[in-house]
């Protein structure tokens, strides 16, 4: 039993004993017991009243003096109150700290309710989006009205980040990222990526300019080399070999400059390709024909596209993507391989695949193949004359056409490069 309760029982027992003795001495036990009991109850009520007073004042300060069970209870309450105060204090400090951290951030942070209503934001969000106090409780789509943002924030699965011009300053580019927390609430992060995009633009412009500028001197060089080769009869044999190597290397440089120009055009062109009709069968037949022209007759290249399929997009870009895949299958495989260029359609897609039964690629390289200048075997790749940009070009063409590139390969068995493109919607 609790110590306070034991003391109280002892106290009641002692008082009762004293009252009984006094009752016998006064010859009226009942009256003495009643009077004594009444005084004990008054004393108890006075403790209860002081405890209520203390609780009514928010249990601030020291608790009222009490003994026995009341002393024990007040002590308990006092300790609980102190624990509560300490917890409140540390919660307050934590929320103060979080507020300080979020205020120091350059990125804007907002919390939204599950129905996309603004609940809280930090100062950076205020300056990036021009939020005002009155916006609390407003739907975020009343603040950022761009249709791309509206589609992004209303999407059930919160898709990949979206980039938009700032509603406050159109020269700024903002990136919005959203994640779900708690019970469907949303944390929305907005970053000013203007500098990053400017640097990216500078990089793209630099690559585009330098590769463009390289073309003129290369044309002049190629012209002179060709003229010298045409009149090389009188030249010593050592010079003929040198001329041949110069010719090969200028061809490589030309190919590199052309691929760089193509890639930077694809990258910098933010507009989707024109949605002109492209008949797939003749396009792939042309790709196969051009492949056969560059390959020796030992390569068996054939088209397996008999359906009358049609794509929407840019013929030149699609030709470049599919021919890159065919030239790769020729370049990176030994003579004698079979290269099949096929097409088919599903309910929603048109699939073009270029498959070979050549060397194949180790699976560890596959995720990185579409990176610029990524090559599986450097020594072999440089001897094949590849620029290392072919698959990057294919990937970009696919992206611009709303499609994807899938790569499947088994070492020693061959590779399949599959282009998944959206099927044009039939107009009734």
Residue among 117 and 255 whose Cβ is closer to ligand ADP: 255
Indicate whether 108 belongs to the interface with ligand ADP (CB under 6 A): no
* Closer by beta carbon to ligand ADP, 110 or else 355: 355
Do 188 and 176 contact (CB within 8 A), yes or no?
Answer: yes
Q: Which two tokens stand for residue 185?
A: 């609430």
Token pair 């049609």 is found at 310
Phi, psi of 309 (to 5 degrees): -95, 150
Instruction: Work out whether 366 is an interface residue with ligand ADP (CB under 6 A).
Output: no
- Applying CB under 6 A, the span of 200-208, 222-230, 305-313, 387-395 interacting with ligand ADP comes to 387-395
Host H or E run for residue 60: none
- What is the smallest separation between the CB atom of 394 and ligand ADP, expressed in angstroms? 7
**Percent of the chain as helix, strand, coil, to the nearest 5:** 55, 20, 25
Of 38 and 367, which CB lies nearer to ligand ADP in the complex structure? 367
238-to-101, 134, 227, 232, 244 alpha-carbon distances in Å: 71, 83, 17, 11, 10
Among 35-43, 188-196, 240-248, 355-363, the segment contacting ligand ADP (CB under 6 A): 355-363
Q: How far is the CB of 383 from ligand ADP (least distance, A)?
A: 10
Which residue from 269, 287, 270 is spatially nearest to 278, judged by alpha carbons?
Answer: 287
- Tell me the torsion sign for CA atoms 352, 354, 357, 359: negative
**Residue 69 interacts with ligand ADP (CB under 6 A)?**
no
Segment interacting with ligand ADP, rule: CB under 6 A, options 26-34, 312-320, 340-348, 386-394: 386-394
CB 175 within 8 A of CB 163: yes
By CB under 6 A, is residue 323 in contact with ligand ADP?
Answer: no
CA distance 76 to 79: 5
Which of 290, 358, 361, 354 is CA-nearest to residue 322? Answer: 354
Among the listed ranges 63-71, 104-112, 127-135, 375-383, the one in contact with ligand ADP (CB under 6 A) is: 375-383
Q: For ligand ADP, give the closer residue by CB, 23 or 291.
A: 291
Which of 381, 404, 406, 418 contacts ligand ADP by CB under 6 A? 381
The 10 Å Cβ neighbour count of residue 157 is 5
Judged by CB under 6 A, the residue of 263, 305, 356, 357 near ligand ADP is 356
Choose, by CB under 6 A, the member of 191, 250, 264, 333 that binds ligand ADP: 333
Single residue of 63, 108, 358, 403 touching ligand ADP by CB under 6 A: 358
Is 403 strand, coil or helix?
A: coil
Q: Is 149 in the site for ligand ADP (CB under 6 A)?
A: no
Given candidates 178, 256, 318, 361, which one binds ligand ADP under the rule CB under 6 A?
A: 361
Which of 36, 123, 388, 422 is close enough to bind ligand ADP by CB under 6 A?
388
d(CA 290, CA 329): 13
Considering only residues 394-423, where is the footprint of ligand ADP by CB under 6 A? 415
Using CA atoms, how far residue 95 sits from 57, 88, 113, 187, 383, in Å, is: 26, 10, 19, 17, 63
Contact call for residue 390 and ligand ADP (CB under 6 A): yes
CA distance 294 to 132: 65
386 binds ligand ADP (CB under 6 A): yes
Residues that bind ligand ADP (CB under 6 A): 328-329, 331-333, 356, 358-359, 361, 369, 374-377, 381, 386-392, 415
């Amino acid at each position: 039993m609790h110590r306070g309760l034991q003391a109280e029982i002892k106290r009641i027992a002692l008082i009762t004993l004293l009252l009984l003795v006094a009752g016998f001495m006064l010859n009226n036990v009942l009256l003495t017991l009643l009077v004594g009991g009444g005084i004990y109850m008054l004393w108890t009520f006075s403790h209860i009243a002081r405890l209520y007073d203390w609780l009514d004042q928010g249990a601030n300060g020291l608790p009222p003096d009490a003994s026995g069970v009341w002393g024990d209870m007040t002590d308990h309450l006092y300790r609980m109150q102190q624990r509560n105060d300490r917890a409140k204090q540390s919660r307050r400090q934590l929320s103060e700290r979080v507020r300080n951290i979020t205020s120091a951030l350059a990125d804007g942070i907002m919390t939204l309710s599950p129905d996309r209503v603004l609940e809280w934001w930090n100062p950076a969000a205020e300056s990036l989006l021009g939020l005002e106090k009155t916006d609390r409780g407003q739907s975020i789509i009343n603040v950022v009205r761009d249709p791309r943002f509206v589609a992004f924030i209303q999407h059930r699965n919160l898709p990949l980040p979206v980039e938009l011009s700032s509603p406050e300053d159109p020269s700024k580019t903002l990136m919005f990222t959203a994640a779900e927390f708690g019970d469907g609430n949303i944390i929305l992060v907005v970053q000013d990526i203007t500098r990053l995009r400017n640097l990216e633009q500078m990089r793209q412009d630099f690559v585009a300019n330098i590769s463009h500028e390289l073309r003129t001197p290369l044309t002049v060089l190629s012209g002179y080399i060709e003229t010298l080769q045409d009149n090389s009869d009188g030249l010593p044999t050592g010079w003929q070999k040198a001329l041949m190597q110069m010719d090969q290397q200028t061809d490589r440089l030309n190919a590199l400059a052309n691929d760089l120009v193509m890639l930077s055009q694809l990258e910098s062109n933010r507009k989707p390709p024109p949605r002109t009709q492209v008949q797939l069968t003749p396009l792939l037949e042309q790709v196969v024909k051009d492949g056969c022209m560059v390959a020796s007759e030992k390569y068996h290249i054939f088209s397996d596209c008999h359906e009358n399929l049609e794509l929407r997009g840019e013929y030149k870009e699609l030709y470049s993507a599919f021919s890159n895949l065919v030239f790769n299958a020729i370049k990176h495989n030994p003579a004698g391989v079979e290269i099949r260029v096929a097409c088919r359609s599903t309910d929603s897609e048109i699939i073009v695949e270029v498959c070979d039964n050549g060397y194949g690629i180790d699976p560890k390289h596959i995720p990185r193949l579409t990176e610029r200048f990524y090559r599986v075997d450097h020594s072999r790749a440089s001897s094949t004359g590849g620029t290392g940009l072919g698959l990057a070009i294919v990937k970009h063409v696919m992206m611009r056409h709303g499609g994807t590139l899938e790569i499947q390969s088994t070492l020693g068995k061959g590779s399949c490069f599959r282009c998944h493109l959206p099927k044009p919607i039939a107009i009734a």
